[in-house]
């Protein structure tokens, strides 16, 4: 769904983040710019049969702080993270009680795994004790739409509800669709973002790919050894500018638009051409000059192929100006949070634009000639950020980039 003649300005008025480096956007941002790592030894399951043993698990999340005890048993962890982030975002938006429940509020969520952990529990119960041992409530939790439905029902939203499963770019897809819902006048406000819980199946799969680093994630470093998995949720509140101004809302930043591409190059590997086309479309769609981009929040997984392809695409798009564009990967701190990745990274872009501080790429030790970019190594940088480009690239060549601008 794209609109050629956009008339409405869409702004961000609320942020909710649940991550391994902080719950709530203030804690998240503080630790992000301090370069804190959320990677730790895995405790949610036994990793003795795996090659690696670390990930970005959220150790201090207490669902009861956000969700009624009677409802928690009907929600798997992905839904819990999603609802917590949504409630944080709504509170941050500064609305009075029931403000959003009386309006057409949509909810767009991106996810890679959905409630895969619920399936894992069902599977183990079946194997150990037979089908009669399966808790029937888990069957309802397993549906991917359940993550979005929990939020929509709990918050009494009346607008469209959508779930995007375009893997690691899903959060950006959700942001783009929510942006369009406002442009088309189909919603008065939209909560957008992504969420995924950490689980055994993807951790095992990526270990089998030999794409998980043993100790730390080092995006764009010459000696990078792979990605780290993580979990989390990031939710943004989008509103038309006139609505935000009418209620005297705090405005963090403006969403200018987005770009999409699907190169279908390879089931898992990214391609520089597809990444370039996606970034270029985002810039063309929003009608801004490429020279106006100050910061790119990279997809930056820490794998050899992905980082090389993304760096090549950035060099092609910006040419001689490449080294003047700051590029950082916060996955170096969080790990790869799958469907939540580009949503949490969008929150980081919004805060970078708001505060004029660029988060670092930590664990950077040795420059790679094949990744000839300014990756803001190890230390955050105070720098004016008027325009940020948020990159999200996924399996199958599903790419999405969102353009975020300082509000004036």
Q: What's the pLDDT tens digit per position in 293-337?
A: 999 999 999 999 999 999 999 999 999 999 999 999 999 999 999
Is 168 catalytic? The answer is: yes
Q: Write down the pLDDT at residue 154.
A: 92
Q: What is the C-alpha separation between 343 and 327, in angstroms, rounded?
A: 17
Selected catalytic residue, list 155, 299, 371, 401: 299
The answer, yes or no, to whether residue 188 has pLDDT greater than 80, is yes
Q: What's the pLDDT tens digit per position in 378-390?
A: 999 999 999 999 9
pLDDT band for position 125 (cuts 50, 70, 90)? low
Selected catalytic residue, list 217, 336, 371, 401: 336
CATH topology assigned to domain 254-405: Peroxisomal Thiolase; Chain A, domain 1 (3.40.47)
pLDDT band for position 72 (cuts 50, 70, 90)? confident
Q: Write down the pLDDT at residue 270.
A: 78
Q: What's the pLDDT tens digit per position in 134-150?
A: 666 666 656 678 899 99
The answer, yes or no, to whether residue 365 has pLDDT greater than 80, is yes
Selected catalytic residue, list 150, 155, 168, 278: 168
Work out the mean pLDDT of the chain and round it to a whole number.
92
> Taking Cα atoms as reference points, which of 344, 299, 300 lies closest to residue 31?
344
> Taking Cα atoms as reference points, which of 261, 270, 277, 366 lies closest to residue 309?
270
The answer, yes or no, to whether residue 6 has pLDDT greater than 60, is no
pLDDT above 90 coverage of the chain, percent: 78
Q: What is the C-alpha separation between 53 and 49, in angstroms, rounded?
A: 9
Compare 121 and 178 and report the one with higher pLDDT.
178
DSSP assignment, residue 95? P
Q: What's the pLDDT tens digit per position in 86-117?
A: 999 999 999 766 777 778 999 999 999 877 66
What is 3-37 written as a DSSP string?
Answer: -SS----EEEEEEEEEETTEESHHHHHHHHHTT--
The answer, yes or no, to whether residue 267 has pLDDT greater than 80, is no
Please count the CA atoms within 13 angstroms of the CA of 333 that sit on its side-chain side.
29
Q: Angle at the Cα of 53 (from 50 to 59), degrees rounded to 5?
A: 135
Q: What's the pLDDT tens digit per position in 227-262?
A: 999 999 999 999 999 999 999 999 999 999 999 998
Q: Write down the pLDDT at residue 126.
A: 62
Instruction: Provide, for the chain, the percentages of residues in helix, strand and coil under a 3-state DSSP scheme, each rounded to the nearest 5.
Output: 40, 20, 40
Q: What's the pLDDT tens digit per position in 195-208?
A: 999 988 889 989 98
Q: What's the pLDDT tens digit per position in 8-67?
A: 999 999 999 999 999 999 999 999 999 999 999 999 999 999 999 999 999 999 999 999
pLDDT band for position 3 (cuts 50, 70, 90)? very low
Q: What is the C-alpha separation between 207 and 52, in angstroms, rounded?
A: 7
- Structure tokens, 2: 């794209």
pLDDT above 70 coverage of the chain, percent: 92
Compare 121 and 108 and report the one with higher pLDDT.
108
CATH topology assigned to domain 12-246: Peroxisomal Thiolase; Chain A, domain 1 (3.40.47)
In the chain, residues under CATH classification 3.40.47.10 are 12-246, 254-405
């Amino acid at each position: 769904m794209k609109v050629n003649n956009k008339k409405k300005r869409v702004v961000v008025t609320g942020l909710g983040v649940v991550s391994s480096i902080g719950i709530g956007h203030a804690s998240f941002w503080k630790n992000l710019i301090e370069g804190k790592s959320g990677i730790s030894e895995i405790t949610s399951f036994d990793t003795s049969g795996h090659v690696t043993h670390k990930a970005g698990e959220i150790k201090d999340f207490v669902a009861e702080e956000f969700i009624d005890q009677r409802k928690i048993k009907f929600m798997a962890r992905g839904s819990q993270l999603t609802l917590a982030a949504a409630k944080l975002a709504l509170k941050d938006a500064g609305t009075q009680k029931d403000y959003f429940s009386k309006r057409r509020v949509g909810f767009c969520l991106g996810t890679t795994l959905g409630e895969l952990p619920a399936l894992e529990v069902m599977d183990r119960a079946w194997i150990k004790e037979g089908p009669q041992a399966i808790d029937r409530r888990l069957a309802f939790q397993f549906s991917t739409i359940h993550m979005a439905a929990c939020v929509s029902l709990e918050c009494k939203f009346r607008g469209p509800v959508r779930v995007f499963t375009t893997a690691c770019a899903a959060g950006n897809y959700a942001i783009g669709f929510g942006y369009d819902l406002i442009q088309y006048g189909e919603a008065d406000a939209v909560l957008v973002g992504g969420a995924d819980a950490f689980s055994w199946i993807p951790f095992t799969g990526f270990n089998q790919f030999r794409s998980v680093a043993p100790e730390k994630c080092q995006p764009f470093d010459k000696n990078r050894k792979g990605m780290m998995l993580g979990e989390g949720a990031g939710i943004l509140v989008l509103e038309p500018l006139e609505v935000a101004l009418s209620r005297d809302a705090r405005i963090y930043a403006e969403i200018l638009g987005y770009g999409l591409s699907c190169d279908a190059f390879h089931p898992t590997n990214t391609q520089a051409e597809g990444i370039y086309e996606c970034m270029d479309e985002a810039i063309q769609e929003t009608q801004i000059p490429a020279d106006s981009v100050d910061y790119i929040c990279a997809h930056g997984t820490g794998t050899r192929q992905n980082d090389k392809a993304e760096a090549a695409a950035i060099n092609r798009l910006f040419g001689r100006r490449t080294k003047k564009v700051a590029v950082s990967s916060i996955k170096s701190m969080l790990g790869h949070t799958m469907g939540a990745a580009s949503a949490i990274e969008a929150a980081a872009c919004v805060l970078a634009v708001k505060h004029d501080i660029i988060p670092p790429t930590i664990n950077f030790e040795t420059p790679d000639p094949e990744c000839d970019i300014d990756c803001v190594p190890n230390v955050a940088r105070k720098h004016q950020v008027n325009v940020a480009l948020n990159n999200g690239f996924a399996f199958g060549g599903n790419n999405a980039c969102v353009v975020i601008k300082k509000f004036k």
